[in-house]
């Protein structure tokens, strides 16, 4: 029966295209919005999109409410009427009981986003007035924050922000009140992490002058990594140049995940890139910490000045202090190495942090893929280990409140602790509350200076073993 209904609806759609004024058929379609089968209601929602009458819009609104938890039907309803979303959004805001039902939240979020994308003054003003009239218990429930965030997201897609379109309206009052409450929640460590993260996002809907200080206060190692990274993304969302300098100031004392976010937050905005280049040139940020994808984007930047500066700082053949040593050992790339002797050198010099087969300990990166690299590429990576260092293999110094200083890679992070990994796979878990300071050394756990222990002939043997020759 369901299949027959769906086929009939498809045939109806074809007939409607030829006879759009068939009111009898419209009435029958509207009646089917109450069908027990979700598949039928889905097809009805799509078919009703061929009409544009008040009666049809009312029926679609009722269907969206009934199936608020069904994403397919909701999408079908909203695609059938461009005018429906803002109207239904305002209507549902007028019924606080609907906001209290969790099943309605996905629909309300989508209605808010679509209303924002449309960016029509009268619709946004009406929504703001409805928000302002909500009871105090509804405002403090968290639902209002979620809807304000969705509305702001839609407006950002349209090229503006909620705080701008609600200037001098009732909506601005409610937005200001919610942001003021969020400023308290964001810094309250007794609140749940989800509530604090939502508060940070809401702070980003306001003005930078209000947001900068509370967001900056979250950029400490005592905060969970997700709080720090969201604070960085939120700060980066404001189009200003001062943020780059502020983020680069905390860069050395940040963990790998946070450092990655800082680099991305700066590199995503052309006006901030010169500050990143200056930090690389001065040594505050290691060129090795720029990911391969970001490196490629910077080396091919549309701005000629930025592109040339990137080539000076990031190109594979750039000058480094180890270049002379690499040139001295280039003969090792053409010598015929002996694999068994190379294995012995690997066990002697490399096995404390690397593993191949049954030899060594897996602390550093996997060496499985090195077989596909040229001898010259391997030589460079061995003798200049700081040229390219993945964020997870950078060495950090962690100062504790008791004066002890530990060093190693930050292998894991949780909201309450860090795990340091050291040579021979020694690991130490450190509580965040015991951390006084974290500082990136800018160098890999793998030390420089292997040339002092290995001759060019032995290097040829080591290369042969690593490449499986």
Q: Is residue 352 pLDDT above 60, yes or no? A: yes
Q: Which of 77-86, 258-267, 304-313 has the lowest mean pLDDT?
A: 77-86
| Segment 79-108 mean pLDDT | 84
> Cα separation of 354 and 189, whole Å?
40
Top mean-pLDDT range of 9-13, 230-234, 320-324: 230-234
Q: What pLDDT band is residue 101 in, cutting at 50, 70 and 90?
A: confident
> Cα separation of 254 and 259, whole Å?
6
Q: Is residue 423 pLDDT above 50, yes or no? A: yes
Q: The domain containing residue 339 runs over which residues?
A: 323-385+449-467
| Segment 48-59 mean pLDDT | 76
> Of 165 and 403, which is predicted with more confidence?
165
Q: Is residue 263 pLDDT above 70, yes or no? A: yes
Cα dist from 262 to 219, 233, 255, whole Å: 11, 8, 11
Closest by CA to 204, choosing from 186, 222, 226, is 186
Q: How confident is the model at residue 138, as a pLDDT?
A: 87
Top mean-pLDDT range of 9-23, 39-53, 181-195: 181-195
Coil, strand or helix: which one is 147?
Answer: helix
Helix (H) or strand (E) holding 437: strand 435-444
Q: Is residue 309 pLDDT above 50, yes or no? A: yes
Q: Is residue 218 pLDDT above 80, yes or no? A: yes
Q: What pLDDT band is residue 317 in, cutting at 50, 70 and 90?
A: low
First to last CA, the chain: 68
Average per-residue pLDDT for the chain? 84
103 occurs within a structural domain: no
Q: How confident is the model at residue 152, as a pLDDT?
A: 95
Q: Is residue 17 pLDDT above 60, yes or no? A: no
For 345, residues 6+ apart whose C-beta sits below 8 A from its C-beta are 454, 458, 461, 462, 465
CA dihedral for 219, 221, 224, 225, sign (positive or negative): positive
Q: Could you tell me whether strands 417-421 and 405-413 are parallel, antiparallel, or unpaired per DSSP bridges?
A: antiparallel
**Which residue do the tokens 């604090």 mark?**
196
23 occurs within a structural domain: no
Closest by CA to 132, choosing from 178, 163, 92, is 178
361 occurs within a structural domain: yes
**Which residue do the tokens 């949780």 mark?**
414
Q: Which of 43-57, 79-93, 154-168, 399-413 has the lowest mean pLDDT?
A: 43-57
| Residue 25 structure tokens | 């058929």
| Segment 161-175 mean pLDDT | 93
| Segment 11-22 mean pLDDT | 50
Q: How confident is the model at residue 468, as a pLDDT?
A: 82
If one counts the domains in the chain, the total is: 1
Q: What pLDDT band is residue 386 in, cutting at 50, 70 and 90?
A: confident
> Of 78 and 278, which is predicted with more confidence?
278
| Residue 314 structure tokens | 């990031």
Closest by CA to 88, choosing from 70, 109, 117, 73, is 109
Q: What pLDDT band is residue 188 in, cutting at 50, 70 and 90?
A: very high
| Segment 40-49 mean pLDDT | 80
Q: How confident is the model at residue 181, as a pLDDT?
A: 95
pLDDT tens-digit readout, 426-448: 888 888 888 888 877 767 777 78
The predicted model scores a pTM of 0.70
347 occurs within a structural domain: yes
Beta bridge partners of 399: 405, 437
Q: Are 227 and 197 in contact (CB under 8 A)?
A: yes
Q: Is residue 11 pLDDT above 60, yes or no? A: no
| Segment 106-117 mean pLDDT | 91
Q: What is the dihedral of CA 206, 207, 212, 217, to 10 degrees?
A: -20
Q: Cβ–Cβ contacts within 10 Å for residue 122, how many?
A: 8
For 205, residues 6+ apart whose C-beta sits below 8 A from its C-beta are 148, 149, 152, 161, 162, 163, 175, 179
Q: How confident is the model at residue 12, as a pLDDT?
A: 52
| Residue 263 structure tokens | 């680099």
Rounded to 5, what percent of the chain is helix, strand, coil? 65, 10, 30
Q: How confident is the model at residue 255, as a pLDDT?
A: 85
| Residue 408 structure tokens | 């190693």
**Which residue do the tokens 């004024």 mark?**
21
Q: Are 460 and 347 in contact (CB under 8 A)?
A: no
335 occurs within a structural domain: yes
| Segment 181-190 mean pLDDT | 95
**Which residue do the tokens 């009939």 mark?**
8
Closest by CA to 293, choosing from 328, 321, 268, is 268
Q: How confident is the model at residue 4, as a pLDDT?
A: 43
399 occurs within a structural domain: no
381 occurs within a structural domain: yes
Q: Is residue 128 pLDDT above 90, yes or no? A: yes
∠ CA(428), CA(433), CA(434), 5° rounding? 55
Q: How confident is the model at residue 85, as a pLDDT?
A: 86
CA dihedral for 464, 315, 393, 366, sign (positive or negative): negative
Coil, strand or helix: which one is 82?
Answer: coil
For 289, residues 6+ apart whose C-beta sits below 8 A from its C-beta are 259, 260, 263, 389, 391, 394, 442
**What's the farthest any 2 CA atoms get from each other in the chain?**
92
Q: Is residue 384 pLDDT above 50, yes or no? A: yes
Q: Cβ–Cβ contacts within 10 Å for residue 442, how many?
A: 18
Q: What pLDDT band is residue 106 in, cutting at 50, 70 and 90?
A: confident
204 occurs within a structural domain: no
Closest by CA to 211, choosing from 221, 195, 199, 196, is 199
């Amino acid at each position: 029966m369901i299949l027959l209904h769906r086929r009939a609806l498809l045939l109806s759609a074809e007939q409607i295209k030829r006879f759009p004024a068939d009111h009898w058929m419209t009435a029958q379609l509207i009646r089917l919005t109450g069908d027990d089968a979700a598949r039928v209601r889905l097809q009805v929602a799509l078919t009703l999109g061929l009409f544009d009458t008040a009666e049809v819009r009312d029926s679609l609104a009722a269907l969206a409410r009934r199936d608020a938890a069904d994403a397919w039907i909701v999408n079908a309803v909203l695609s059938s009427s461009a005018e429906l979303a803002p109207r239904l959004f305002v209507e549902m805001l007028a019924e606080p009981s609907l906001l209290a039902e969790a099943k309605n939240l996905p629909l309300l979020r989508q209605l808010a986003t679509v209303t924002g994308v449309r960016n029509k003054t009268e619709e946004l003003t009406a929504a703001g007035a409805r928000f302002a009239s909500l009871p105090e218990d509804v405002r403090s429930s968290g639902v209002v924050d979620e809807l304000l965030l969705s509305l702001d997201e839609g407006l950002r897609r349209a090229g503006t922000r909620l705080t701008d379109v609600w200037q001098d309206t009732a909506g601005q009052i409610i937005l200001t009140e919610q942001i003021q409450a969020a400023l308290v929640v964001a810094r309250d460590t007794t609140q749940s992490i989800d509530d604090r993260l939502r508060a940070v996002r809401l702070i980003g809907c306001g003005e930078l002058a209000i947001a900068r200080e509370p967001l900056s206060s979250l950029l400490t190692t005592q905060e969970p990594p997700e709080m720090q990274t969201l604070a960085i993304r939120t700060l980066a969302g404001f189009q200003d140049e001062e943020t780059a300098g502020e983020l680069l100031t905390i860069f050395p004392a940040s963990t790998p995940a946070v450092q990655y976010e800082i680099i991305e937050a700066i590199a995503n905005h052309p006006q901030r890139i010169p500050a990143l280049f200056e930090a690389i040139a001065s040594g505050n940020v290691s060129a090795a910490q720029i990911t391969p994808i970001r490196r490629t984007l910077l080396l091919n930047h549309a701005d000629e000045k930025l592109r040339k500066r990137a080539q000076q700082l990031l190109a594979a053949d750039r000058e480094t202090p180890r270049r002379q040593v690499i040139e001295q050992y280039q003969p090792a790339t053409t010598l015929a190495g002996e694999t068994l002797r190379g294995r012995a050198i690997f066990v002697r010099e490399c096995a404390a942090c690397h593993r191949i087969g049954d030899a060594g300990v897996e602390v550093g990166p996997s060496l499985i893929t090195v077989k596909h690299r040229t001898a010259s590429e391997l030589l460079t990576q061995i003798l200049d280990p700081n040229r390219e260092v993945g964020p997870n293999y950078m060495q950090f110094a962690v100062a504790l409140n008791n004066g002890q200083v530990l060093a190693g890679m930050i292998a894991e992070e949780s909201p309450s602790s860090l795990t340091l990994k050291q040579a021979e796979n020694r690991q130490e878990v450190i509580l965040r509350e015991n951390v006084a300071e974290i500082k990136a050394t800018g160098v890999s756990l793998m030390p420089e200076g292997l040339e002092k222990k290995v001759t060019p002939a032995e290097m040829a043997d080591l290369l042969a073993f690593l490449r499986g020759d």
